[in-house]
Structure 1
Amino acid sequence: FRIINEEKLSLNRKLGFSWTAYHDVNDIYKYLEDVNKAHSDWTEVIVGGESYEGRKIQGIRINTPTGDENKPVIFIESGIHAREWITPATTTYFINQLVTSNNPNITALRDQFDWRIFPSVNPDGYQFSYYSDRMWRKTRSLSPNGCIGADPNRNWDYNWLKHGASNNPCDYQTYGGSKPFSEVETKTLSAYIASIENLQAYVAFHSDAQMLLLPYSDSTTHVDNYDDLVTVGKTSLNYGRAVNGKVYRGPATAAEILYKASGGSMDWVRDALGTPLVFTYELRGTYFHWPAYRIPEQGEEVTQMLLGLVTEAKNLGYF
């Protein structure tokens, strides 16, 4: 409970947006709008979908004018599981690095790609976790029997309900929904992702298994460019380890080093869209808690891991 209490102390957000406090969805969305105002010539607030309770799934596009009209797109998804607070926090930290850093490696990372970054793709669930039930994981949709929520990372139309998901609407954690894309969040977000031209990389952030996962999450059979994904992933983890000395497991499929899980976003993106570079990072923590004052520690790791990912993928000819 000590860590929970530390988080609660950080709920005092009077000093504005920072990376020493956890912020609610409204704060996060205001931050994205403020970034857009400060860099309006090359950022744009974007909407990737909507939620059951009527919120927008809001993100930011970062696309500096370099003369390249057809930059590869990198999509970042965070917060699909509501209680994994460190993921929206580190994602906004990374956004801040992209738009403010003077480090030539980071400015090059920014300028080379068309970034579509969504810090909280389950905004209803996150808000409920923030104010009501810290361990809430699911959406907030209402099932006919009165139970609430589905696991939005078991609801995508890839091997739906085959592994690691429940068909019981009252399951607190892994109810897969009444059908694939039964949740408005996954239905609308998947349509947005499918509409993106030149999508080359899809990165999802979770916590807190401290590992890097590759598709497919419910299989030990490897995709055709699996060896490349391992090479890219190892370099990414090496870049991250150089920051704090922390070792991540993988890269490998979840079926190999975690557990079999079907119906996840990364697997659908790979299967349905053929996106070549797809990764799920499980960040650090203990029972989904991470002290607010240590957000920058993981923020720096994430920034370097993404730099390593891009660097190695470029070496292998993906960009």
Structure 2
Amino acid sequence: MTSDTQPGRMWRKNRQPNPTSTGTDLNRNFAYKWGCCGGSSGNGSSETYRGTGPESAVETKVLADFVRSRVVGGKQQLGMFLDIHSDAELVLWPFGYTYNNTVPGSMSADEEAAHRTIGRELASTNGFAPEQSSDLYITDGTTDDYTWGQQRIFSFTFELAGGSFYPPPSAIAGEVQRSREALLRLADYADCPYRAIGKQSQYCAQ
């Protein structure tokens, strides 16, 4: 997002006023495990300020409403979700709020294995390091924790390169090309992520 008074300036937070400062970190504002685990801040001046409540930011609410709107006949129609960040050259998967690889009722052994296997395959094509989100650091109220934790959409985050937290426009073409194959493979798995662990007949049979 850019500022009218500082053309070209990029911001980590949105520009919505908060009770003590400006902006909410949209990747700490989702409803799943919002503010649960020390992975966000309640201080409005913090770069990881989580907002006044889950989905308090307009942008978060719009995205979450869209994801919820794709539930048809009780079944989520979206098969894969990707969030793109910078600047650490990583492929991440849920969860960010806990160091546990599996969580009863939220992440089974097969679900974790499918995420991990796909994540490692994607990283093998773009040279990024694959890891569970919490291996980087604990976060809560994040996009991909929400899309998996509440909606059971297989979810990943790419932390791109580019030389800084705010890479210049000149880095876009190179970053797109670097991850082109990973993006294509991710899309190919959308119909049945369990194919990555050889269990498509168990989970994806029509």
Give the TM-score taking structure 1 as reference length: 0.53
Give the Cα–Cα distance (whole angstroms) in 2 for the partners of residues 177 and 282 of structure 1.
23
Q: For residues 183 and 127 of structure 1, what CA distance do their matches in structure 2 show?
A: 17
Cα distance in 1 for residues equivalent to 2:113 and 2:194 = 15
Query: Equivalent residue for 2:74?
Result: none
Cα distance between partner residues in 1 of 2:170 and 2:8? 22
* 2:145 maps to 1:267: yes
Counterparts in 2 of 1:233 and 1:129: CA distance versus 1, 3 Å: farther
Q: Judge conservation of contact 2:90–2:158 (CA < 8 Å) in 1.
A: yes
Between the two proteins, the alignment pairs up a number of residues equal to: 183
1:217 counterpart (96, 120, 123)? 96
CA distance in 1 between partners of 2:134 and 2:52 (Å): 24
Which secondary structure does the structure 2 equivalent of 1:273 belong to? coil
Q: Is the 8 A contact 1:154 1:263 kept in 2?
A: yes
- Counterpart of 1:148 (choices 10, 19, 22) is 22
Query: Distance in 1 between the 2:167 and 2:114 partners?
Result: 32
What residue in structure 2 maps to residue 226 of structure 1? 112
What is the letter of the counterpart of residue 264 of structure 1?
Answer: T
Partner residue in 1 for 2:104: none
8 Å CA contact retained: 1:207, 1:284? yes
**Alpha-carbon spacing, 1:136–1:292, altered in 2? closer, same or farther (3 Å):** closer
Paired with 1:144 and 1:229, the residues of 2 have a C-alpha distance of 38
CA distance in 1: counterparts of 2:188 and 2:18, whole angstroms = 45
1:168 is matched with which residue?
Answer: 43
1:127-184 alpha-carbon deviations (Å, 9 max, x no partner): 2299457352101111234x1111111011122122221111122x111101111111
**Distance in 1 between residues matched to 2:170 and 2:56, nearest whole Å:** 37
Contact 1:239–1:307 (CA<8 Å) still a contact in 2? Answer: no
Match of 1:296 in 2: 173
Instruction: Check conservation: 2:2, 2:11, Cα contact below 8 A.
Output: no
5+ residue gaps, structure 2, are 72-76, 102-106
Does 1:207 pair with 2:79? no
Q: Secondary structure at the match of 1:278?
A: strand
Partner secondary structure for residue 205 of structure 1: strand
Q: Percent identity, please.
A: 29
The structure whose RCO (Cα within 8 Å, separation 6+) is larger is: 2
- When residues 130 and 195 of structure 1 are mapped into structure 2, their CA distance, relative to the original with a 3 A threshold, is farther
TM-score by length of 2: 0.79
Instruction: Tell me by how many angstroms 1:291 deviates.
Output: 4.4
Match of 1:107 in 2: none
Match of 2:128 in 1: 248
Cα shift at 1:284: 0.6
- Unaligned runs of 5+ residues in structure 1 are 1-125, 241-246
Residue number in structure 1 paired with 2:69: 195
